[in-house]
Structure 1
Amino acid sequence: MYKLFKPTKKISSKLKKALIENPHWILNDFEILDQLITSEKNKTNGNIVDLRDIFLKKTKSKLEDLSKLHTHTISAAYENFLGASNLHRCIIKILEQKNLEKLIDILTTDIIKILQCSVIILLFSGKEKVVLNNPYFINIKNEEIKKIMRSAKLTKKKLTRLKSNSTELYTKKILNESSPKIYSEAMLSLCTYSEDYNSILILGSSSKNFFNEKNKTDYLDILAKVISIQLRNHISALK
């Protein structure tokens, strides 16, 4: 004998339209996200591992803290989850770091591998010099870093600049001859959340087309904001 089930009640077209136009209503509400994932899991075999569930549980508290500072960053990250796994791997690792030295270390080891870059350099100019045992964290004069930002046209609205003209790459000015050959670079402004310092993250690639000017910068913009938050937190902790 077959059991008959009542069909699931569909949401109204008006509500559906509102949700489609405002996905952040769900993306910024962790209770709703939890319920959605739980409901989806109940429909599947218990042996199936839902990677979304693992990701949410592992980073939930950290993302909640981060969302208080910049909810748009988190919304964009969740919206692009399936197509931007590398971005999320970077976010998780960046949020896990407990101090500035560990943050710089993870950028120049794990993050560089995830992003498939040849080199990562962080330029910093603050009221006081910050000394770290990492050759890729470089203190420079405030006038110089402002000059670099003006040249790259980096602002609080334009966080990323890509360049593939090998004669104009800043990395060539600061890397020694034994360093990897760089043919394209991305500059990320890390000044989004602080007026106390200026900082730029430079990603260099041995491929000329890797950071081509025609490429979109959406994911790098999100990455810049996440690093900016962590950088501000760790710099503040040094005071």
Structure 2
Amino acid sequence: MSSSPRIDETLRDTIISRPDVILEDQDLMRALIVANERSMGGNIVDLRGIAMDRLEARLDRLEDTHRSVIAAAYENLAGTNQVHRAILRLLDQVEFEPFLKDLGGDVAEILNVASVRLVLESAQNETDPAIRRMGTVLSVAEPGFINIYLADGRIAAPVRQITLRQVHRADPQIYGDAAPSIYSEACLKLDFGPGRLPGLLVLGAKDPLQFSPQQGTDLLAFFAGVFERSMRRWLS
């Protein structure tokens, strides 16, 4: 007479009729494999079990990668929609002052940043009254200021159109009173065409991780391209 405990008949019938239930349950399959290894004794190497462990680890890595790819795709789609909405908001304006004021209002809100500032280089010392009225968004700097600002103390000026970086002490000349709350920024260098000095669009964020050099810049480059073409219309 066998002393082994018999499995419940109802459970046994269920397993026989639906074996896929066990095969799809990782915890149950792992327990069965461990029990099988114990029954074989310690002197036997179960190569099949080792192979299954490796395949299971590889499957876990593939699932993690799959989830990461899906998350990145959703994030990229959300970023694309965000930039497209901001561009459409800019293109709605037919006058220069509302166009600029939207930068610090609706556009900043759509892009989820704390501050949007436009810097224009000018050789003239006098400040236009219109510029003073939009001092929270627009500022004028001397020629060469933008490259110096982007270089951040380095000798060679950067050639990149988009610069993403953390900010330890935001420049009040750029951000004004908002400078103490800015901890990362995206700097979009603007080309207004032959014979014109460059411009700089600066997006400032309170989150130090919102902009970093490891991030992609394609969407911001597209935004900068649309923005500088709109500005050429106003500057012509």
Q: CA deviation at 1:174?
A: 4.0
Q: CA deviation at 1:218?
A: 0.9
Output aligned runs, 1:80-95, within 5 Å: 84-95=80-91
* Structure 2: segments with no counterpart, 5+ residues: 1-75
Given that residues 166 and 184 in structure 2 are in contact (C-alpha distance below 8 angstroms), is that contact kept between their aligned partners in structure 1? yes
Cα offsets for 1:118-174 (capped at 9, x unmatched): 01111111355553321220011113234224448454xx2110011424x4x4554
Given that residues 194 and 232 in structure 1 are in contact (C-alpha distance below 8 angstroms), is that contact kept between their aligned partners in structure 2? no
Distance in 2 (alpha carbons) for counterparts of 1:177 and 1:108: 14
Cα offsets for 1:68-108 (capped at 9, x unmatched): xxxxxxxxxxxx87861111111111122213212211111
Evaluate the alpha carbon distance shift between residue 225 and residue 88 of structure 1 in structure 2; reply closer, same or farther with a 3 A threshold. Answer: same
Matched to 2:166, the amino acid is S
1:137 equivalent to 2:142? Answer no
Distance in 1 (alpha carbons) for counterparts of 2:108 and 2:213: 20
1:104 equivalent to 2:105? Answer no
SS in 2 for 1:203: strand
Distance in 1 (alpha carbons) for counterparts of 2:143 and 2:111: 28
Which structure's relative contact order is higher, taking Cα pairs within 8 Å and 6+ residues apart? Answer: 1
Given that residues 189 and 224 in structure 2 are in contact (C-alpha distance below 8 angstroms), is that contact kept between their aligned partners in structure 1? yes
Matched residue, 1:234: 234
- What is the TM-score of this pair, normalised by structure 1? 0.56
Matched residue, 1:31: none
Output aligned runs, 1:1-150, within 5 Å: 84-126=80-122, 130=128, 131-132=130-131, 133-135=133-135, 136-150=137-151
Q: Which runs of 4+ in 1 moved over 4 A?
A: 80-83, 127-130, 149-154, 176-180
Evaluate the alpha carbon distance shift between residue 219 and residue 178 of structure 1 in structure 2; reply closer, same or farther with a 3 A threshold. Answer: closer
Cα offsets for 1:187-206 (capped at 9, x unmatched): 00111545312210111000
Percentage of matched positions with identical amino acids: 23
1:204 equivalent to 2:204? Answer yes
Evaluate the alpha carbon distance shift between residue 83 and residue 165 of structure 1 in structure 2; reply closer, same or farther with a 3 A threshold. Answer: closer
Given that residues 164 and 211 in structure 2 are in contact (C-alpha distance below 8 angstroms), is that contact kept between their aligned partners in structure 1? yes
Given that residues 100 and 235 in structure 1 are in contact (C-alpha distance below 8 angstroms), is that contact kept between their aligned partners in structure 2? no
What is the number of equivalent residue pairs in this alignment?
A: 153
Matched residue, 2:161: 159
RMSD: 2.6
Distance in 2 (alpha carbons) for counterparts of 1:121 and 1:223: 14
Matched residue, 1:216: 216
Higher helix share: 2
Distance in 2 (alpha carbons) for counterparts of 1:212 and 1:141: 27
Evaluate the alpha carbon distance shift between residue 134 and residue 83 of structure 1 in structure 2; reply closer, same or farther with a 3 A threshold. Answer: closer
Distance in 1 (alpha carbons) for counterparts of 2:212 and 2:182: 13
Given that residues 119 and 180 in structure 1 are in contact (C-alpha distance below 8 angstroms), is that contact kept between their aligned partners in structure 2? no
Given that residues 81 and 88 in structure 1 are in contact (C-alpha distance below 8 angstroms), is that contact kept between their aligned partners in structure 2? no
Matched to 1:162, the amino acid is L
* Structure 1: segments with no counterpart, 5+ residues: 1-79
Evaluate the alpha carbon distance shift between residue 220 and residue 145 of structure 1 in structure 2; reply closer, same or farther with a 3 A threshold. Answer: same
